[in-house]
Structure 1
């Protein structure tokens, strides 16, 4: 119970006393009832990190310390752009602690409803992280808004993989009081005795997040494990379109399926769930014809529904009319141009005298040799897809998505994403010098059976 927890009246002082030789705390980012997060500087590496401390609960000792070390080590092995990397971890007299990447964007809010396309992008990023972890043998088991963070590059990243299991799983859930809604993300199978969460439990939690990103409301608002079970038994899940009529029906149906009571009734994977959010045809990803920015805030590719492209039958006549008007204007203007000497009698001015060339300062130019042009700065490309895929650029394999910080020379490039069982996705991009282009909204479509 809460009385058995080693909770300090001044947790900041306890952190300084027990971890001050490892981290220099800059400021507190979050104080919860059982956990705190600090912005800190690692004394050894001098890196700026987020330091998370979790109060050691006596009713879970000593097994939780051993589980925590094992799970934190597994989380540290996860290496993915959409996962917050764990750097160091340990156990002190009062805390379980670990340091991780600092994400200045903070947690994604579920209070204000997201635009549909914004929600799809966020869920794709989260699904990429979960899919990678599942294929690596790791289940998150505690996905919720506080664990979904935004970093400085605009990517959405997931933190705290497996920490709930390290703290006792269901035992911790049934012993600790939570604020309303905090338990809504726990899958039904996690609340049964000796329930071991699998990838389907993470899909359920992602379904709850998707619902709340769209509706801006909690699904159940439960305050304890018993309350959550009772609410699920007595109440049916309201359709998200009741709060957001603009949500497409395929998306609403995908959310309902991800929130199925039985794991077998959900999608086969989180990647399949993310792909189903856009329906059978999926979105169309459009790149600008010309690069528009050379900074990191360049707009991402936009999604447009299929069927809203201009028809070529309408464009060709319009182009013909424009060309005809241009020719008429050119010929009519040429017929009025003066010939011979100007009627004013003025003599055209002589061309300006060319400045002399200082051969001592510019020997190459004086000899007719122009200096070599400065190389143009390369462009950077970020590519993410659901599910992950092999990325080919101009026919050359460069890696698996998500790919971050890919440097390409300015100009035209052909991108191709390939994944077994899915239709290849191919696009052409035109990159300007120094441009950063973020392509993070690609959903591969499954191949249809012959």
Structure 2
């Protein structure tokens, strides 16, 4: 802790610690001469690793100290104490919007008042050429006197001026509220960036949850870049259609598609809340409702999941953790099926595509009768969650349960639609019911098993969620259904990508051990590529040193193989050889064309180098 309770810091006496986040620790302090309380924000010691930071800190603090608006928490002073730079800010009695939302939804009147106040603060700051960069409920204070204040302009701007290990990470924004351009690490930020983050906050106010939530920062920021915005009315039917259209425009992936200014957004929102038509249906930006392809944008930069939860781990930049860089797991599924059954199901893949697993591992044939639609699993969650439970988790559970209900209703209405079975299976996955997901899928397989597209579609859905082994099973069954004809190039690419991600799967060692490749012109995975992926399995389930020895053997045979160079860089990351890893990745991206997923992975690893 930089300051101690009871300690004198300049003319201030530290009274208590109020909180700690990823960039600063906040204390309540007393100024005796002025007889008033203030808030001291002490910046994280990691910023001191930048030799020029103090000079920039002083320059930027002078800029934000000039902000004078009733809805902005003012900065009174800035100084250093025992080499710890800190800001002196007005102490506001009240609670954060984040704390208020824990107690339940706001009324429409409350939501409009908060949006109006935060919008006024942002409009004022933008007119001064100052962006906030980190708009979120914890930075909105609801004062006891009824006023609404936006805080931490200084912190976001000052942090962004630094070059420390944390300044390249944390100030990019909080994942749940980050704009796509921030997530991609772009530097040319403008008012549109704050408009997007403000839009996420408003979405949460009226819908009841943030649009994207997952268990890793990568998954969240990835969704902000690529995934269409979940329609507010599909989550909360009480949201008006005009309010939905305003949110769709505000949260467009492309900045040019958003409102031109905060004032325009606030005005449209207020009118929409009154039921007035402000955004025509044909004016909804396409970038909000269609999936953005990965090769259209850079890979996400990964900030900590919640800077308010605590300070991040800060390394020297010269060494890395020995643990593999795991990522992108929203749900772990398929594990109700024993490993033998998984390999059995993958028998199609082994026999038809890779020519590997034995005859006895083929799955049993299902009688071609129409089974009844599986009912939704009973909801045994407690009616009254514990007081300290996370409301966001509860809302997320409700959202996925509603998605499941919709999928099952759609399946009952469209029993001849193969996509309805796939949607229902995925919905069961999202609520964690792996057994029902498998049953629903197999019901569809009985009806549509002669159509390879059913299995290929399932494989693509699973691959989108980074489930390598189940995706391989689906592709294998699709190939079996097609009669084992010549594989199209795009299917070869997906099979190779699925094998790469399968290396992270908990069942990867047993799965790869049972693969028996047979050489031939129709082999979708060249031997050197499979050996490179096998080295990745060793990385995740043995040691980086053992994996490094394996990948070096592959590179000796084919030093230009993109996937081998990619795996080599990942291994070096885990060995702490950051410079070597970065050099390999830069050369890989600057080289000849390669598969888009390999390029995306290389860009992803480059984006997280600063975390080490």
- TM-score scaled by length of structure 1: 0.54
Residue 262 (structure 1) aligned with residue 251 (structure 2): no
Residue 198 (structure 1) aligned with residue 198 (structure 2): no
2-structure distance, mates of 1:170, 1:188: 22
My pick for the range that moved more, 162-171 or 148-157, is: 162-171
**What is the CA deviation profile of residues 264-283 of structure 1, one whole-angstrom value per residue up to 9, with x for unaligned ones?**
11111111101111336958
Q: Which structure has the greater CA radius of gyration?
A: 1
Higher helix share: 2
* Deviation at residue 174 of structure 1 after TM alignment: 5.1
2:181: which partner in 1? 189
2:246–2:272 Cα contact (<8 Å) kept: no
**What is the CA deviation profile of residues 105-137 of structure 1, one whole-angstrom value per residue up to 9, with x for unaligned ones?**
121124432222221111011000100111122
Instruction: List runs of 5+ in structure 1 lacking aligned partners.
Output: 1-9, 285-450
Aligned to 1:157, what secondary structure does the other structure show?
A: strand
Residue 24 (structure 1) aligned with residue 13 (structure 2): yes
1-structure distance, mates of 2:65, 2:48: 26
2:114–2:148 Cα contact (<8 Å) kept: yes
CA gap of 1:168–1:62, structure 2 versus 1, over 3 A, is farther
Residue 278 (structure 1) aligned with residue 267 (structure 2): no
Residue 236 (structure 1) aligned with residue 247 (structure 2): no
* Deviation at residue 219 of structure 1 after TM alignment: 2.5
* Deviation at residue 59 of structure 1 after TM alignment: 7.3
2:585: which partner in 1? none
2:225–2:253 Cα contact (<8 Å) kept: no
2:211: which partner in 1? 219
My pick for the range that moved more, 100-109 or 40-49, is: 40-49
Residue 165 (structure 1) aligned with residue 165 (structure 2): no
2-structure distance, mates of 1:260, 1:281: 20
* Deviation at residue 85 of structure 1 after TM alignment: 1.0
2-structure distance, mates of 1:196, 1:153: 38
2:199: which partner in 1? 207
2:144: which partner in 1? 152
Match of 2:245 among 233, 239, 253: 253
2-structure distance, mates of 1:144, 1:221: 14
**What is the CA deviation profile of residues 121-176 of structure 1, one whole-angstrom value per residue up to 9, with x for unaligned ones?**
11011000100111122111111112111223201011111422322369746545
Aligned to 2:132, what secondary structure does the other structure show?
A: coil
2:40–2:87 Cα contact (<8 Å) kept: yes
1:90: which partner in 2? 79
2:522: which partner in 1? none
**What is the CA deviation profile of residues 25-69 of structure 1, one whole-angstrom value per residue up to 9, with x for unaligned ones?**
222221335422222112443321122112131575123323322
2:54–2:85 Cα contact (<8 Å) kept: yes
Residue 47 (structure 1) aligned with residue 25 (structure 2): no
CA RMSD, Structure 1 to Structure 2 (Å): 3.0
CA gap of 1:186–1:156, structure 2 versus 1, over 3 A, is same
Residue 107 (structure 1) aligned with residue 96 (structure 2): yes
2-structure distance, mates of 1:249, 1:50: 42
Aligned to 2:175, what secondary structure does the other structure show?
A: coil
CA gap of 1:167–1:223, structure 2 versus 1, over 3 A, is farther
Count residues with an aligned counterpart.
271
Higher strand share: 1
2:131–2:157 Cα contact (<8 Å) kept: no
Aligned to 2:160, what secondary structure does the other structure show?
A: coil
Match of 2:59 among 55, 63, 70: 70
* Deviation at residue 224 of structure 1 after TM alignment: 6.8
CA gap of 1:151–1:276, structure 2 versus 1, over 3 A, is same
2-structure distance, mates of 1:30, 1:71: 23
CA gap of 1:223–1:143, structure 2 versus 1, over 3 A, is farther
1-structure distance, mates of 2:9, 2:162: 33
1-structure distance, mates of 2:118, 2:220: 24
Aligned to 1:121, what secondary structure does the other structure show?
A: helix
Aligned to 1:57, what secondary structure does the other structure show?
A: helix
CA gap of 1:51–1:281, structure 2 versus 1, over 3 A, is closer
- TM-score scaled by length of structure 2: 0.41
2-structure distance, mates of 1:276, 1:177: 29
CA gap of 1:21–1:107, structure 2 versus 1, over 3 A, is same
1:118: which partner in 2? 110
Aligned to 1:167, what secondary structure does the other structure show?
A: helix
1-structure distance, mates of 2:90, 2:47: 29
1-structure distance, mates of 2:233, 2:151: 30
